[in-house]
Structure 1
Amino acid sequence: MDMQKALVKNLLAYAVRREIPAEQLCSLAGLSISALQSKNPLVITPKQLNDLWLNACHLSNDPLFGLHLGESMQASALGMVGLIIQHSSTVGEALTQAASFTHLITDLFGMQVTQHKTGFTIQFIPYKDGTQEHSFAFQQMMDLFMAYTLHEMDGLVLQLIQPKQVKLPFNSDHEAEYQRVLRCTALRKSKEYVIEFDKQHWNTPVLTANYELQSMLLQKVGAVDDTFGNIPNLRTRLSSYLLANAYLGIPSLEDLAANFNTSARTLQRKLQEEGITYQQLAESVRKSLALHYLESGTYPIKEISYILGYNELSAFTRAFKRWTGSSPVNYLKN
């Protein structure tokens, strides 16, 4: 799989969700959508990549477009997770494998994983002989990789992992948003790009079933869409986003709004203009997922309850009865 092309396609798909026409972005960057959609190899020049990032940030009015893209991407979006889990049984092994694939996606920096007494670090190191370290694309790609790597770890173990500290030369105007996306209040301004984790996560088992769950969701919603067609309504865009990332739970309205670079109030108002609230949308997604999981016959009811964010099986059963008029057990029988 051409991982650099996959990255650009994910960038365009996210831009479309942000109401930016993919055709316009490609035109401004001198890229061809038909070439991106074809199965033939495609060379994307540094200037094209830089122009793509510049215009994505400009048209979305979001200087942290790369950070938000990394937050929104599914762990399997770049085609690496399947390769990683074939050779990994723990998070530590998976990250070590992931580091060896970095060069297939970007020539701007490498990834180094180091274990120490109290934990382990992931460091993104600019290539010394590179001339693009201060390019616009470099900063956006670095933000994307830091957020995506954290998201990738979540997907491998099906839980939200919190770093001990993060080092990066962040803009102080955006410190709070970096803290939110990277789930770390211990943000240190530094010339290095480092995420540090507690040692307990190093040997956390990687479960193949989690990747299968992600793959099933991606097939259901077509998360990495090759068509970049017309921009759907907000309800459809948000539903697709929630479904594709549902293996990590349904986010709060505030977190979802931040990912789309808007306020919770504005997002709720726009949804209400389409005749629905965020709470109703989230319930609709949970119902769709519950039915999908049950009908797949792969997951026990208790596990489905946990995946959907219910602390108690009884709470999930009550919600399911409200949606369908039947309990999960009776639904399966019928």
Structure 2
Amino acid sequence: MNSNAIRPAPCGCLERGRTMEKGSVAICFVHHAISGLQARGLDPEPVLRSAGIAPALLAVPQARVSTASYSDLWMAVAAALDDEFFGQDSRSMKCGSFAMLCHAVAGSRTFAQALERVARYFGLLLDDLGVRLDRHEDRAALVLTAPSAAQGRLPGVFAQETMLIMLQGLMSWLLHRRVPILLASFAYPEPPYGAEYRIMYSRQTAFGQPATALVFDAGLLDQPVRQDERSLKSFLRDAPHNVVVKYSDRSSVAARVRRQLRNQRPEQWPTFEALALSLNLSASSLRRRLMDEGASYQELKDQLRRDLAIDALSRTGKPVADIAAELGFAEPGAFHRAFRRWTGSRPGAYRGTAGES
């Protein structure tokens, strides 16, 4: 699936493309992803190994896997179950369903029309979980519904998480940019990994709400859809990775900082003052704007170092000392301490565990 031509993925399900943005996914979502296999009495180990995820990582509570590995896992589970929804609904979302959904909405005139089609299509695909588009004055929302609640079939937390990931990925693709989510609300208590939601969905989250929903600016509904059948091929070639990471929130200061860091070697990362100057901001303005977005320069550097370290330890044979140096650590001991803080494991132990795949 890395060639320029479009080739069907196994069983015709979601495809994966060539260029992958580095990032990481918490191990709890790997546990969720294989739960459908376990519920059907299937051994998840071969599927995990095919995605380059060592089964031993499941026992490391703070472990993370690369977004590329998680995307591979999504494809592998879909192929094993013939279900692109991880077996989370009473009805299987058969392989190829997501591609057909994209074909159905690509020719929409407006964002509103596309979202209405998305909602109708999911109504055909799934039994336990649905979507509706609401609009109230200056805000709109994609709200999750439970059509089968009367029969006692309530959608689980992971089903709702997965649906929101799909919806947000589709929204961003339709407008060719990441759609800012003003509020992500959830009809259940905050899970132990709730901090991940502020990265996955929105900096503004609310739990224990009447419904699970993504709230956004209603002014976007009249925007024209910027995709067609030709651009659809490129989108499907990179799915599900681009659905997992969505489009970069290019308007945020944090995203601008991440882009600048990704384009430089860690030892060349600027001081905070130099960074502010390069962004045409004063240091105090940059600090305030990052705080408003729930971020700090140190956190952004740590997150990128963490994801680069996980990728290097999992996918290369570079010595740990070399990885530490490439990530800008003055000595390996500092890298060991930082990595243990990030993942709960030492770099060598993590590599040994990940290497068991």
Q: TM-score, normalized by length of structure 2?
A: 0.46
More helix by share: 1
Larger RCO (CA under 8 A, 6+ residues apart): 2
